[in-house]
A = this chain, B = another copy of it.
Amino acid sequence: MSDRNREPVTLQTVRISVVDQLYAALRMAIIGNELSPGARISEAEVAQQYGISRQPVREAFITLANEGLLDIRPQRGSFVAKISLAAVLDARFVREAVEADIVKLLAATPDAALLANLRQQLTRQQELVGGSARDFMEADEVFHRTLAEGAGKGNAWRVVEEMKAQMDRVRFLSSMHFPVARLIDQHRAIVDAIAEGDATGAETRIRTHLQGILSDLPVIKQERPEYFL
């Protein structure tokens, strides 16, 4: 054979377990506020809806509960977790700390390929202005993940992703709170600072970027107190 010495590719099993599929679906539904905070959601009910047994539903619930998106009360019922102000603030805090160090790393040794990628994403984001909040949220997620992976901290992204979910969820409670144009400007400013090797500037800008939600949070709580703990 001509390719005896080639690198073995890592094969992938196409099968995605019922649990994983359901987990992803429910997570999206919760973050996107299709399932509102406080809403009741029982294992049996969901099982019937999807035509599966209770067990995989239960296992998806467990993971969601571990991520703070679901509240399982034994013998009482399961509920979409209400928003804890402290939890969201702390999630934001963690995310700011981590991403600040990430952009500091990136600015220390700017990488041309990465910057090109980021700038391409900026134009793509610009095209989404006026579109759906969900579409922008996805692009935003890719942008921030690209930063993490560009800094060689791909595993750290898992943490940021979880924190981000808490924050995005709050934003979805009131569709007013995706100031897309402003967010893109901030993204651009961050990329510029990285390109210039300005670590301090990049840090300051991403911290500001991630502090944006702080002003929205009290407003949203005022608008929808029933969604909060």
- Give the residues in chain B near A89, CB-CB below 8 Å: 155
Take A74-B17, A96-B101, A101-B96 as given contacts and tell me if A91 and B59 are in contact as well, using a CB distance cutoff of 8 Å: no
Q: B91 touching A155 by the CB < 8 A rule? A: yes
- Give the residues in chain B near A211, CB-CB below 8 Å: none
Q: How many copies does the complex hold?
A: 2
What does the 1/0 interface line of A37-65 toward B look like (CB < 8 Å)?
A: 00000000000000000010011001100
- Give the residues in chain B near A114, CB-CB below 8 Å: none
Question: Which residues of chain A from 149 to 192 have a CB within 8 Å of any chain B CB?
Answer: 153-156, 159, 162-163
Cα distance A162–B159 in the bound complex, in angstroms: 10
Q: B94 touching A159 by the CB < 8 A rule? A: yes
Cα distance A17–B58 in the bound complex, in angstroms: 15
Cα distance A9–B77 in the bound complex, in angstroms: 22
- Give the residues in chain B near A153, CB-CB below 8 Å: 90, 93
